[in-house]
Structure 1
């Protein structure tokens, strides 16, 4: 099911002016408004939050505004600059969140996140990330997601909770019914006239006969209502940067089978590979857009670990996404965009002298797994410089450069550790004798062999020692083998003699394979 995000930038013109001018001076910023000339006078076009609190509203004259706030800062409005700023913001969002992003003038963005939310662990984390990053840039932001663009637009603007607005799947009618008439994106004059007729909420408009109101106010009123309810399509025309390689193929007849779509994907991959070869670049991310006959424009996105223009590899990754696309009544055109590119030199084509020793194509394997399970689910372990086992291993992307340090092989470590270490009851003689028996998770383990202790004195240069709340500075580790053949890694806090070095409690930190 389609899911659309609407991002509402309530004070976009004034926020853009402040961001362009740099950080405001220390203290509360002066009220800021933008103004346009109107028949020999200047009229307020946009206001900041501080100005609105003083009673200054768009449409008010500058003279009237100065009577309310004499120190108000007035700058010339720049509608073209505001639109260009929205375009740049949409291009940024398209690189990070979704292949289908478009500006929603004068103060918002559209994002079709169908099939994208799982990359951010769900819709709520995705919306929180958008709001956090936009707010961190000094702009007021509210976002909402719903099944339709109209519903998301209305919730983002008329349910100002300060938190992401989530309309659950299938609840568009319920969410829209309680909102005011003006949430339908109709002309202000039409909304005022409807209110004078007694229509306050959208649920009243839904229950009223259509013919008389459509005759009086035109077809636009019910077009907006039907779009918000999902009864007629409202496609989002995505924005593309001019420097993005892009190819498109219109089809003589609509297609809908997987075989036909795969054939077009192969043709598009060859086209875009040729275009990238001329520019000596490779694609790190590809967006495939489908233009359906009913107006909907679904899209899929695939990423690559390294820049590539291999036609077969790109077509394979894109073809694996065919099952996620609903062709509807048919697809009449398809476009392929390289939304993330990197310089790439010439590559040898064909068999090389050392082809037999080349080994597996790791980037292709990584691309296949990452596009199936998500890039966040694919990583590799690298060694880190640390004296404590829990800090000796770090996680990095699958194709990142190798670490400057190597794994230490003089002291064995378990393949998998328990984080955090779990307490166990141990029978052992102090101070340096290995444990003879331990109880873990209610089960008794009798030890037949043990090696140790390996003493770790912690990282005294870190604040708080080993732990943030308890300065555990000494650990004695033992490798033990039980009578059933299991091999475990136990440690005792403290040196076994001085209580100041630790509590003398025992923990299990891992198990050897």
Structure 2
């Protein structure tokens, strides 16, 4: 089932203007409007949230906007710059999220994410991550995923939720309550339908199609069919000149898996030759199959390190052939190195030379393309004394960070997240518990070592300026060893709650 993402940037022009201005940008609470010419008049073409709250509207004459908002900050609108920046954003999304991306209506992107969401932890995780990354860059966004471009476009712009995942096979159910403008119809068509009493898409779906087509033309029916998936709506993906791409046109459409695999191998040979000529290796490959029914099937594979090994890349791509639905046949195959990095030549080792550490990158690539990048990682130490912050996830083939775990005191093999509250009998302030109750079982302490004092990281937040933990290694009557701590120094309430917690179990 095809899945299409619509990314809506409601204040793209204003957000881009603030980003471009940097430190010289007006404060977020100051009303800002961008103006341009509409014929002979100067009108507002974009406005931020503060300007909207003050009464400024897109299309309003600039003189009127200045009158109703005395402190309004006005700058010229840069349509060309917005379009160029949107294309750069599309390229960024192409390299990181999905193989088919294009600009949509000048205020967003459309993304065919079919088969790519599992690489990012699922649809909801992928969409939320994209919105969060844009928000961190100062760009406000709403996003929706549905079965069709039309449905996703409508939901992203007319549903208030910032992230919306429509169920697979939703049909018309997600559209009936949306306004007519969600169908991407001309404003005069929307006005004419409203005069006749139509307000929602559901009102149109309940009417015979012929009278509406006779009065408003074929575009109305076409937009409805596109939103419902009855009529296909191809996405022309962005393809900058610097991308390395090879393609094959077929006189007769192909559909057999063996034929597709054979031509994939030929395309990989061509692509690797071009990569070698530029001294590059591919880290992400996109195979796009152009079907005779004007639909596209995309396959994306990635590698942990830059690669231009023909056999290896061919295997990664052919492993995904079962996800391709050729329909009535494929007339064009396109293979693109969406992400490529410099790759130096390596000297071939003879069998008499010890290769040292084995190369597991091929295995890593296979696993990543099956379970997704977020599911495969390795643990690395972090330079911190706080136990729950002392480990992070890094890519399987990422270089060593150089950090090491503290070795002054032993650490348990298993940490509890979060630490669990326990009841104790202890002599304050420096003595370990005589006994403690954890998960309903009372344990008597036979031996103990400590305390090991760990202070809060005051530079992170104010609550940790005076925070203290006193850790003890304890052993019960059964010989089991635990890592427990008291929140606070046992005397000053500002250092913690003085309650005890179980944080780890020694193997």
TM-score range, shorter chain: 0.7 to 0.9
Once the two structures are TM-superposed, the CA of residue 202 in structure 1 deviates from its matched residue by: 1.7
Q: How does 1:215-364 map to 2 (within 5 A)?
A: 215-349=214-348, 352-354=350-352, 357-358=355-356, 360-364=358-362
Tell whether the 8 Å contact from 1:476 to 1:492 is kept in structure 2 after alignment: yes
Tell whether the 8 Å contact from 2:30 to 2:72 is kept in structure 1 after alignment: no
Tell whether the 8 Å contact from 1:287 to 1:302 is kept in structure 2 after alignment: yes
- Alignment deviations for residues 454-500 of structure 1 (CA, whole Å, 9 cap, x no partner): 43512236459xx9699664333246795xxxx74324547xxx965
Once the two structures are TM-superposed, the CA of residue 182 in structure 1 deviates from its matched residue by: 2.0
Tell whether the 8 Å contact from 1:282 to 1:309 is kept in structure 2 after alignment: yes
Relative distance call for 1:138 and 1:461 in structure 2 (3 A) is closer
- Alignment deviations for residues 407-459 of structure 1 (CA, whole Å, 9 cap, x no partner): 78897655444444556789999999999x99865679999xx8x64435122
Structure 1, unmatched stretches of 5+, are none
- Alignment deviations for residues 179-237 of structure 1 (CA, whole Å, 9 cap, x no partner): 22222111111221222222222222222222232233222111111000011111211
Once the two structures are TM-superposed, the CA of residue 507 in structure 1 deviates from its matched residue by: 4.2
Residue of structure 2 equivalent to 1:42: 42
Once the two structures are TM-superposed, the CA of residue 396 in structure 1 deviates from its matched residue by: 2.5
Tell whether the 8 Å contact from 2:281 to 2:306 is kept in structure 1 after alignment: yes
Q: How does 1:124-143 map to 2 (within 5 A)?
A: 124-143=124-143
My pick for the range that moved more, 298-307 or 73-82, is 73-82
Secondary structure of the residue aligned to 1:6 is strand
Query: When the two structures are aligned, how many residues end up with a matched partner?
Result: 497
Aligned mates of 1:362, 1:251 — CA distance in 2: 37
Relative distance call for 1:458 and 1:163 in structure 2 (3 A) is same
Relative distance call for 1:397 and 1:455 in structure 2 (3 A) is farther
Tell whether the 8 Å contact from 1:432 to 1:453 is kept in structure 2 after alignment: no
Once the two structures are TM-superposed, the CA of residue 103 in structure 1 deviates from its matched residue by: 0.5
Aligned mates of 1:300, 1:377 — CA distance in 2: 19
Secondary structure of the residue aligned to 2:380 is strand
Tell whether the 8 Å contact from 2:33 to 2:44 is kept in structure 1 after alignment: no
- Alignment deviations for residues 351-387 of structure 1 (CA, whole Å, 9 cap, x no partner): 5255554553211111111221222222223345556
Residue of structure 2 equivalent to 1:490: 482
Relative distance call for 1:63 and 1:420 in structure 2 (3 A) is closer
Counterpart selection for 1:474 from 465, 470, 481: 470
- Alignment deviations for residues 332-356 of structure 1 (CA, whole Å, 9 cap, x no partner): 222111111211112235x525555
Tell whether the 8 Å contact from 1:424 to 1:438 is kept in structure 2 after alignment: yes
Residue of structure 2 equivalent to 1:96: 96
My pick for the range that moved more, 275-284 or 249-258, is 249-258
Q: How does 1:46-57 map to 2 (within 5 A)?
A: 46-57=46-57
Residue of structure 2 equivalent to 1:510: 505
Aligned mates of 1:214, 1:392 — CA distance in 2: 65
Once the two structures are TM-superposed, the CA of residue 54 in structure 1 deviates from its matched residue by: 4.6
Secondary structure of the residue aligned to 1:25 is coil
Tell whether the 8 Å contact from 2:213 to 2:220 is kept in structure 1 after alignment: yes
Residue of structure 2 equivalent to 1:404: 402
Aligned mates of 1:429, 1:45 — CA distance in 2: 70
Q: How does 1:336-485 map to 2 (within 5 A)?
A: 336-349=335-348, 352-354=350-352, 357-358=355-356, 360-385=358-383, 390=388, 393-404=391-402, 415-420=413-418, 453-460=448-455, 462-463=457-458, 473-478=469-474, 482=478
My pick for the range that moved more, 275-284 or 10-19, is 10-19
Once the two structures are TM-superposed, the CA of residue 173 in structure 1 deviates from its matched residue by: 0.2
Relative distance call for 1:32 and 1:454 in structure 2 (3 A) is same
Relative distance call for 1:481 and 1:316 in structure 2 (3 A) is farther
> How high is the TM-score relative to the length of structure 2?
0.84
Tell whether the 8 Å contact from 2:412 to 2:483 is kept in structure 1 after alignment: no
Once the two structures are TM-superposed, the CA of residue 403 in structure 1 deviates from its matched residue by: 4.4
Give the root-mean-square deviation of aligned CA atoms. Answer: 3.7
